[in-house]
Structure 1
């Protein structure tokens, strides 16, 4: 039986790691010929990542993890931090892959190297794969529309000689193959409107085109227009194998995390059906004190029950993950916790899958990270869009305009980068309005979301579109090995 080894290289951080591991699980569960080695880059010691990796290693003996040596790029240049970190790891990746290849050549039981699967930010590793004579596949953790947008902007710049940064502050609407509706320039990702960041974005898209294929976390029914746009033959094959979700609630949490889950579940159990609005802005999402107070006032004025993942911002100018408040009362309006004690719960970082899957949750105020959108669709929970950074404005546009089952807090809200201090304050009145629209959402939108939720589950079943694409991907990876 022909066997094959894949090397996966995820971007540092829990959010990209989890979805990349879920892809690896799909592959090894589908085909017993495959083994996968993860090369893990770490910014710092992270117990949550360590617990997650240990739980996966224990559950699956054909997925293993190798920690790469820590390299510390200049922390005073946060805008170059990620790419310089990845570049610095290239020699370590070469060393580990050389060991794998040597082992394969010396032992008949060791499977040959079949290819690299690279996170969307790790395109510089394509050169390493080429050195070892194997193909590279990109794992794109965002949606198909964003991939199409990157190709569109690159074509606009390279072929049509248009500078995308000129759209900053423009009222222009862009017609592009990956979307059914014109896209307002004001919801373009900040990196495409910034002269310093545009070059790496263009470089990334060019390198995508060098890959053997692009694995994407979506399904055809969700983004049919974008998927159709890739069939013209001017991009590598695109494999939509999603929704890729980590639905396993027991992922190695410590005792403190386990107690927290139980406490949240118990509170949700006591709330009426579909009565709670859940507020969460992702692993990097946090706000300054002024905005926190506006959110609190908007919640209180809406009168709706709520569960709020309130995070403390990272230190000024630092590229760090937000943390939980020791005492949330320090940043909330005076008396807020007492007045809302019977209808609200401040939770800090929470188990999103557990919360969205709970029957008492009826709405989700979200930053519109792609994983959060897929989770909300899976569980049929409507979203009120409050994007912050990256491609989240585009994602908000998709759920509100393209798909028609979201509502808006503010679709073009943005913070240029998550460590920037400047934020446009959204008023309590706007937040109250958005929450009321969310929790009183129309029947038509609810039905549309319910239908897409069913489609997301069917996609992964035998005969479903994503299941079929996964089979084609494995055939491409394994059956073409000499």
Structure 2
């Protein structure tokens, strides 16, 4: 039996979507090669996001899951926290991550004292933890960056840096214009209206430039995608000599049944009673909540479409809550049209729930379409199960994911590609009943798109098996890790 030869330090971002996929790729690497030993350093979320949140619950679940070659160490909370400015949220995120650098240095120093410096092969850090690259440099080991977004978005971010640094382009002015831009990682010109949230402010652009410049210092970049899915974007990255080596290692998914995914048996029982591919699933992620006016527009559209539906309806946080995460309504009827719940109950064609076991729902044969915020994990999960998407992005880079799925790849339909929700301002544009109903009908009636998505889903399963492109990419990555020691 092979003995452990190298130690890797993983540092995920303390955000649920980032942390889960980072830990899943760590597990995959550990299981693939017995010579790898992995230590995951867990940063706790800021105090306002801890109690009762999904990320806090997930971190607690890791406490007793350490094994011989995979251990989890929770870092101490920093003594002094950075100032939170609602107008500069990403500056706070970056400063908060950097307050942990001292603790990371202390833990890694202790690991080296126990196993020897020759065992430490490198750091694997989240794309939003650029300051940890400097910590790795202090130990004279390389950094590998794990990108939890698409290869297309990675290319876009690096291209924005090129525009600023090499062409002196004013990105804020560009973002606020009404035009299109030819971006190397996209086949089609990209409308500025789908540029991600934050690119329209100097603070946001400065943060993107910080991330992009540090990315170029990494030895390699791991991306949660696969070659057959994002062929053009990956080839664009690999042909650019200024970009570190790119390893497509996905799709990396949280397994069905993990983290209480199947806990809501009532939902699954209801789906069991529905015809195959007949249900449209509405779900918008951990921050996916709308005001009462928008909720009613969705309800009217669902009734008018005539399609069966499962709707994960979430309650916005109150202004007093430090957390921006949504919760469940005690009585969803308070925001729904009068008599809505009674009517769908009598017809049996619809069901309104709170939190949804998303992977278990998408895996169910009754689900024929997914109305989604297009977070990258949701895109990969939808594709894995061959469920076509209707794109209703909300924040971060979701507008670009939506553009890629609808325009670049033809694997989804548009509800509103340029929709953006300001997390700190409840006044947002309203997507109308007519727009939502049209999107539902196009989603559920397009059999050709459904077959195309199923084909891509089959490809996503093949790529991670022996002989697949991502399987081979992970093998090359492991060789690189071993070679560092």
Q: CA deviation at 1:50?
A: 6.2
DSSP 3-state at the match of 1:196: helix
Aligned partner of 1:300 in structure 2 is 303
Q: CA deviation at 1:49?
A: 4.6
SS in 1 for 2:203: coil
Q: Offset at 1:150?
A: 0.4
1:427 and 2:435 are equivalent in the alignment: no
- Once the two structures are TM-superposed, the CA of residue 319 in structure 1 deviates from its matched residue by 3.9
Q: CA RMSD in A?
A: 1.9
SS at 1:150's partner residue? helix
- Following TM superposition, by how much is the alpha carbon of 1:171 offset from its aligned partner in structure 2, in angstroms? 2.8
Deviation at 1:272, TM superposition (A): 1.1
C-alpha separation in 2, matches of 1:332 and 1:18: 33
Distance, in Å, in 1 between the alignment partners of 2:149 and 2:474 is 17
Alpha-carbon distance in 2 for matches of 1:360, 1:383? 15
d(CA) in 1 for partners of 2:64, 2:455: 36
TM-superposed deviation, 1:321: 1.4
**2:43 matched to which residue of 1?**
41
2:379 to 350, 367, 373: 373
Q: CA shift at 1:301, angstroms?
A: 1.1
After TM superposition, the score normalised by the length of structure 1 is 0.93
Tell me how far apart the structure 1 counterparts of residues 355 and 425 of structure 2 sit (CA, whole Å).
Answer: 21
Q: TM-score, normalised by structure 2?
A: 0.93
Report Cα offsets for 1:221-265 as digits up to 9, x if no partner.
1111111112221100010000001124143x3xxx86x521111
Which residue number corresponds to residue 344 of structure 2? 340
Tell me the distance in 1 between the aligned counterparts of 2:42 and 2:429.
36
SS in 2 for 1:340: helix
* Residue correspondence of structure 1 range 357-396 to structure 2 within 5 A: 357-396=363-402
Superposition map of 1:121-136 within 5 A: 121-136=128-143
Q: Deviations over 1:125-146 (max 9, x none)?
A: 1110001111111000000000
Matched, 1:466 2:473: no
Partner SS for 2:252: coil
**Alignment of 1:170 onto 2:177:** yes
Q: What SS does structure 2 have at the residue aligned with 1:323?
A: coil
1:101 maps to 112
CA offsets, 1:254-289, max 9 Å, x none?
xxx86x521111111111111111001111111111
**Partner of 2:292 in structure 1?**
289
Q: Is the 8 A contact 1:13 1:42 kept in 2?
A: no
- Between the two proteins, the alignment pairs up a number of residues equal to 470
Q: Are 2:245 and 1:234 equivalent residues in the alignment?
A: no
Aligned partner of 1:84 in structure 2 is 95
* Alignment match of 2:318 (pick from 315, 319, 325): 315
Match of 1:200 in 2: 207
Query: How far has the Cα of 1:190 moved from its partner?
Result: 2.1
- Say if 2:444 is the partner of 1:439: yes
Q: Deviations over 1:26-85 (max 9, x none)?
A: 100111011111111112245755664546954853211111112444345461331121
Match of 1:27 in 2: 29
1:261 alignment counterpart: 264
- Partner residue in 1 for 2:278: 275
Q: Which runs of 4+ in 1 moved over 6 A?
A: none
How far off its partner does 1:169 sit?
4.0
Unaligned runs of 5+ in 1: none
CA contact (8 A) 2:12 2:125 kept: yes
